[in-house]
Structure 1
């Protein structure tokens, strides 16, 4: 309906100019600044302000799960503030803005700007908010142009209606993609009759309204608004007589009722006592408008439709919005359908309603539309990684790292599992870590135990052979008592490897390294004693040698005792300062808790190893220098080779030990113990056993002196 100058001061353009002390009622302005009771204390309106409009749009987006949104708006101050509020609401609900483009509010969009909008729609999100034309309708020409230039699969949310009329381009269909937010609107009693019977001469000053009324003379107009007249000229095809767009008539209607009730209350209260209220007394009427302010504030009245109306403390009518769906019908006409409501004054659970069955979707949607977003949700087990240069809702979904989980969709970060738990394969739950250690039951433990016991028995057999043949020349050569000590220490070396297998306990952790260090120091000091005995025996045979007094078991026993005692003191110092202890290693291996022995003092551990290396090195050097002495008293060749094997094993042990974790580290140390012990046993005693058992004829002094 064309706008008329109202008989009372009703504001119709949303301006911010306040007439001093004069109550103003707007039927069109949704400008949120006008709700400021301090700056505009006398301003009232019969439509909701823009904050409610933005809240309603946000409710619609949240209902359908639309997260990725493009916004096109005018650049006026009120719209910009409203859009900022809308953006904050979208982001608060987990959505984001693909783009926001603004256009001048003081003029119509140019063709270049329309092309810019179409290009942006096609390249960005599928949900587009048109926040302009608040107080006008979109022309059908623009909608057709939008249809031609925008691909299917888009939803458009607008705050402006579209002119509804017959389309004579029958080959052209308009997609059902529009949701429109408009303040509550109803047809007032006798309003259509007023349209049919009103004389255009009343609108002589409004040429646009006059043409609109002339269009109603067309025979194709609906009977409800068709006027009984004959058009003097042919009207254009896009006639307004098919439109249901009657502007803000309902809001004007409520504004009139609000003013009427306020005047009525003012008169009844005696505020106008002494005044004669007549139509002719306009001077008196306009001298009292400031008095209306008191009666408009918190006004409660019923309009002509019997509806309860309230003006709140901010001067806003407590009303809401209809959510309209624009449908293209088979008869080539367009029709609005109310599919939902938003009433900000209703209880929280009842303020927003939507009837999905009433919505007619675009043909590309087979049911409720997809949850539009830049990319699919990141499922549990994944986290978001923002794409550089794109909105925050555009991201990659990358799996959580080992030991981290995400148990919800679209998580920004993964949660680290506690030290005693690990992530499952899907990375969506923490599960207890597997407790592991080198046990006697597993294949590796069984193999190492079997090897250890096998060589222990071999050593025991060799010791028995040496005891049984103790009086033969080959056993008596090079101090048989030292040979017994060496064989016993090797037996202990094989047995001490068993301490490294099984569940680590306090006792086993303490005995592991100390037993290993002491038994090996006895073995190596025995070899050193045998080597020195060979050198002394050779030197003592020379005429006038002073080494004759060093012959005998006393020197060799002293060497074994003193060298072993030094290692024992080192081990005791280790135990008293920082002894080994069981330790739950939760970080070395993925998804496992390693039960292992912490060495306590790493320095002490390497001191023990270094001392063994020192004994082995001295024995190797002396044996190497004495390797060419006469064979009758000489084990130097065998000792040299055994020390070479021993040193090779332990030199390779250190980097291998440091590069392994958990039970592999323990297995490396056990292997080094078994390999070095076997090397000593084989290189020193196997040749003698061969002569004793298989070549007994060579076990005599005569043969021992040969070569």
Structure 2
């Protein structure tokens, strides 16, 4: 079943491979590598697995990495190209292929009466080797000749492989010409999505577009905006870095630096390592994304620069995530990293099948022997070969029994891409079965094998059994991604713990990640920070610094009336008209209601106590005057007007309560009207008293015409007439545009001013203006008669009272107009209390002084003597 051939090709043969026309030398197994006096000797080992069958499936697998591994001095050999570093996990993929084919051949329901055969090669991760192997499979046994096959009736139905994008693209370009179906189990290159160039290509993994969209979303999920990128310097690396940069930019993530790794001479590696270390050390990025082609050289580089990776978090996709070989050999560099990898597909248990693969059971399997010699330095009977492997692996050969099982390798125990290989084989087998059972599709029928488009049709149309995953329009098997956390322990053990899943639904990605289950570098449980600038806390916004990355910015506090309720907000948002930012400016809160409240303002208590106290004092004085109404001092200048004046002043004090508390329509309607009418009544009474004093002075002259007004109700009529005019003004105001309650949302920041809208400003100022006119007339008349004898001496107290009244209201006007909200109301209340108190004090306190402390002056005879009682 298995056959291994080692072919030696010189430089001319290598050129033929590049021309896709290779004439191999006669197969031979050499005891040692012959020294040749050439600059380059190509000693490529062709590991071939063949089984005959009715239908042949070709397979290209990467088990070794093709690289320069041996250098010699002198004139014999300068360098030798060998398939080196076989990875046990990759050998497992090949065994899974064999298991799947055997299982299909035993299944009576799938491809009945048909035997599947195969021809497999190790591409050694080299595209030249891969293309040569494809041509060998297409040509059949014997000489490799393009466009010619020696297989007679046994045709190649399709190909499985390869794992890497570099080799897979080269294979796909060739197979697209022949329209052969190809299913890759690991290639992710975005170029392969082009159905015009690669119409027969399929893969059981997601492409780079989906991978790097997911990785960038994962980086965004953890809040990282400042990352470094390390990539291979090849076509695959360039393509993947472009895709990664595109998706990172869309999500507002910046690339701090980008390091591209390519194979260099050993003499130059130290300089390269120092340069890379310096780049990473200077950057503040704490997260590094790996992309491109995995190679042992890149793995070695990561080990070489591990001192600067000690505190860095690595993030990578399936290309690296499925190589648990990395964690096995490079624990320090890869501990605590995050890996995006495809979700597992169900596969049967193959443990018993794998346990059979020992060197003792399969001595003809040269690839298996190569794995044991390279990874465990097992010695063989050939001394020269042992010496060569010892030099390449830098180890001392040791005796092995040959019964060691390949399952003992840690990397072999990993699942890797085994489910993808298994399903790739079954997908192709199901498509062949569907095509075979379709009309005109026989096993040996010409149309079955000549029309490869029919097989491609069934590949596109099929839905894999026992699962709901299908191939999309690009030939990708659509499956969710899972996120693994790589952990290593001091005892040398290592695990990959799945901490979440990322489901792609149309253009949306749904995350279900258990952040608390992640173990970061040095055993930390907190998410590391990777940002160019400090986070802008809620209440501020980002302002990008000019000339550098958009991820480097300054934080500016939100303007008045604006908030930002998320971290690193680019814009602040205005609150609604009835809301205002809180102190931290991270959320909008209802605006404070602004009015003279009984519960929240100490000034209201002062006004309430003052109003009540002055009202009681006024009531007390009114009671005194009523009880002494028959005395000379009370009778002087019309005691009835004095009673009305005291009542008006008392009610003026009490009307202050209409200005306190939350304004409502009723209080707004009454406050200015009551205040205006009551003050007008008070001033009208004073005006009547002043007019009577003036008439009494004029009537003292003999024959004066003013004498006929003595003893009349002139003062009362003046008071009633003047007050009536104010009532008419108020009624007109209420009829045309009455006051009402309103809420002012914009005059004061953070407050809703509940106030009274005066309705008609003309009505409001007419009330004040008329009242001011009466006060001015009273003041002028009182000022004119202020020097009269004692009997008429009330005029000078009226003068003082009007002087206080006018001074208060004149000073109140600018203060009233320059304030807003409750302070405007407070100014008006203060003016009411002060002016009313001035009238009370200037007019009535001197009389109370005479009544209580100078009663001898409170007689008519005393007043007529014109004595100055002061």
The two structures share one fold, judged by TM-score above 0.5:
yes
How much has 1:154 moved relative to structure 2?
Answer: 2.5
Runs (5+) with no aligned partner, structure 1: 201-211, 278-284
Answer whether contact 2:540 2:563 (CA < 8 A) is retained.
no
CA distance in 2, matches of 1:307, 1:485: 100
Asked if structure 2 preserves the Cα contact closer than 8 Å seen for 1:166 and 1:238, the reply is: no
Q: What's the CA shift for 1:143?
A: 0.9
Q: CA deviation at 1:611?
A: 1.7
Give the deviation of 1:447 after TM superposition: 1.0
Distance 1:634 1:346 in 2: 99
- Kept after mapping to 2: 8 A contact 1:71/1:131: no
2:615 aligned with 1:453 = yes
Are the equivalent residues in 2 in contact too, given 1:386–1:393 (CA < 8 A)? no
How has the CA–CA distance of structure 1 residues 391 and 404 changed in structure 2, closer, same or farther, with 3 Å as cutoff? closer
Which of these residues, 363, 386, 391, is aligned with residue 230 of structure 1?
A: 386
Q: How does 1:78-97 map to 2 (within 5 A)?
A: 78-79=239-240, 82-83=243-244, 86-87=247-248, 91=251, 96-97=252-253
Q: Quick one: structure 1 residues 141 and 451, their matched pair in 2 at CA, closer, same or farther if it must change by over 3 Å?
A: same
Task: Describe the SS at the equivalent of 1:25.
Answer: strand
How many Å separate the matches in 2 of 1:579 and 1:54? 69
Query: How far did residue 97 of structure 1 move?
Result: 1.3
- The alpha-carbon distance between structure 1 residues 609 and 223, as it changes in their structure 2 partners (threshold 3 A), is farther
Partner of 1:203: none
Contact 1:623 1:636 in 2 (8 A): yes
Q: Which residue is equivalent to 1:599?
A: 758
Q: How does 1:146-545 map to 2 (within 5 A)?
A: 146-150=305-309, 152-158=311-317, 159-160=319-320, 161=323, 173-174=332-333, 176-181=335-340, 197=364, 217=373, 220-221=376-377, 229-232=385-388, 234-235=390-391, 270=441, 273=444, 293-294=456-457, 296-298=459-461, 314-316=474-476, 330=490, 337=496, 339=498, 361-363=520-522, 365-367=523-525, 369=527, 382-383=538-539, 385-389=541-545, 391=550, 416=575, 419=578, 438=597, 443-444=605-606, 446-465=608-627, 467-469=629-631, 472=632, 474-501=633-660, 507-542=666-701, 545=704
Cα offset, 1:640, TM superposition: 1.8
Does the 8 Å contact 2:541/2:564 carry over to 1? no
Partner of 2:792: 633
Is the Cα–Cα contact under 8 Å of residues 181 and 322 in structure 1 kept in the other structure? yes
2:205 and 2:476 in contact (8 A); partners too: yes
Return the alpha-carbon distance in structure 2 between the equivalents of residues 240 and 576 of structure 1: 113
1:41 aligns with 2:199: yes
CA distance in 2, matches of 1:419, 1:219: 74
Summarize the Cα distance change of 1:33–1:195 in structure 2 as closer, same or farther, 3 Å threshold: farther
- After TM superposition, the structure 1 stretch with the greater mean CA deviation from structure 2, 449-458 or 154-163, is 154-163
Q: Give the distance between the partners of 2:639 and 2:699, measured in 1 at CA.
A: 19
TM-superposition CA deviations, 1:207-237 (whole Å, max 9, x none): xxxxx9989646943799x999522475256
Output the aligned Cα RMSD: 5.8
TM score, norm. by length of structure 2:
0.60
SS state of the match for residue 289, structure 2?
Answer: strand
Q: Does 1:130 align with 2:283?
A: no
Deviations 1:612-664 (A, max 9, x none): 22222222233234333444434332122111211222233334445666666
Distance 1:462 1:357, change over 3 A: closer
The CA deviation string for residues 581-603 of structure 1, in whole angstroms up to 9 with x for no partner, is: 35566778888877654433333
Q: How much has 1:491 moved relative to structure 2?
A: 3.7
Q: Deviations over 1:467-514 (max 9, x none)?
A: 221xx2x44544445444433433443343444456756555433322
Against the structure 1 CA distance between its residues 103 and 534, is the aligned structure 2 distance closer, same or farther, given a 3 Å change threshold? Answer: same
Give the C-alpha shift of residue 336 in structure 1: 7.3
Q: Which moved more, 1:566-575 or 1:311-320?
A: 311-320
Q: Greater relative contact order (Cα 8 A, min sep 6): structure 1 or 2?
A: 1
Deviations 1:434-470 (A, max 9, x none): 797555998446513431431231331343155221x
- 2:37 maps to what in 1? none
- CA distance 1:571–1:149, change in 2 (3 Å): same
**Partner residue of 1:563 out of 712, 716, 722:** 722
Aligned residues: 666
In structure 2, the residue matched to 1:14 is 169
* Matched residue, 1:206: none
Secondary structure at the counterpart of residue 704 of structure 1: coil
Q: After TM superposition, give the deviation of residue 675 of structure 1 in Å.
A: 2.4
Counterpart secondary structure, 2:391: coil
C-alpha displacement of 1:580: 2.7
Instruction: Report the equivalent of 2:21.
Output: none
* 1:657-686 deviation line (CA, Å, top 9, x unaligned): 456666665454344323222211221222
